Amino acid sequence: RKEVEQDPGPFNVPEGATVAFNCTYSNSASQSFFWYRQDCRKEPKLLMSVYSSGNEDGRFTAQLNRASQYISLLIRDSKLSDSATYLCVVKGTGGFKTIFGAGTRLFVKA
Amino acid sequence: NAGVTQTPKFRVLKTGQSMTLLCAQDMNHEYMYWYRQDPGMGLRLIHYSVGEGTTAKGEVPDGYNVSRLKKQNFLLGLESAAPSQTSVYFCASSTPGGWETQYFGPGTRLLVL
């Protein structure tokens, strides 16, 4: 079993749609959680951190469920520019063991 | 600020050849990392460094060596390249801490024939 698992997609949605991604992690001792975004043939960039209380940044909402060991990302009112791969990232204690999920590909179409 | 830069951007090697990938950052970050990204597998940590002169093994260190002689530079070496090392290599840097952002370079695409 992979330490961080994501639905690979692809998700094909029309502009304006709401789309949700889920991610599960296996290590209950994991400490920090993130969503990164990676455009085609580009480097990953931080989208948002995921705190226990959840957090929202404009059209993006991230939530963490420690009991069930999953993380979610909700994108509302999808834009063409949201087309990318979304990487779920989990970090363990000590700060170095950073595990990246394989990513979920999103295509937003006009 | 240039952020994190990597050289070269693309390289083709023959099996058994050696090469060094260079990563440089101008953000004065203590931590630096080397990852490889393969289809369907996500990024995997090869080696990392928590400061000048220190290095440590990550998840997939075999076949690679690293050095951090200067704080701003982190070198990844392949002593004898193998086709299994065909991948995209990303360097990243960050400040210490559990919630710090990792800043990535643009990547190096390596093809080993």
Give pLDDT tens digits for A47-88: 999 988 889 999 999 999 999 999 999 999 999 999 999 999
B40-88 pLDDT per residue, tens: 888 999 999 999 999 999 989 999 999 999 999 999 999 999 999 999 9
**pLDDT at residue A93 is higher than 80:** no
- Beta-bridged to residue A48, according to DSSP, are A35
Q: Do B43 and A43 touch (CB under 8 A)?
A: no
A96 at B interface, C-beta within 8 A: yes
A95 touching B (Cβ < 8 Å): yes
Residue A96 has pLDDT above 80, yes or no: no
Nearest residue on chain B to A99, judged by CA atoms?
B44
Q: Considering only the beta carbons, identify the residue of A46, A49, A100 that sits closest to B43.
A: A100
For A28, residues 6+ apart whose C-beta sits below 8 A from its C-beta are: A66, A69
Verify whether the Cβ–Cβ distance A98 to B45 is below 8 Å: yes
Beta strands in chain A (DSSP E): 4-6, 11-14, 19-25, 32-38, 44-49, 55-57, 60-65, 70-75, 84-91, 98-100, 104-109
CA of A101 vs chain B CAs: smallest distance (Å): 5
Give CA A2 to chain center in angstroms.
16
**pLDDT tens digits, one per residue of A9-54:** 999 999 999 999 999 999 888 889 999 999 999 999 999 999 888 8
Whether residue A95 has pLDDT greater than 60: no
Query: Best of B99, B101, B103, B108 to disrupt the A interface by mutation (most A CBs within 10 Å)?
Result: B99
Q: Decide if B42 and A32 are in contact by the 8 Å CB cutoff.
A: no
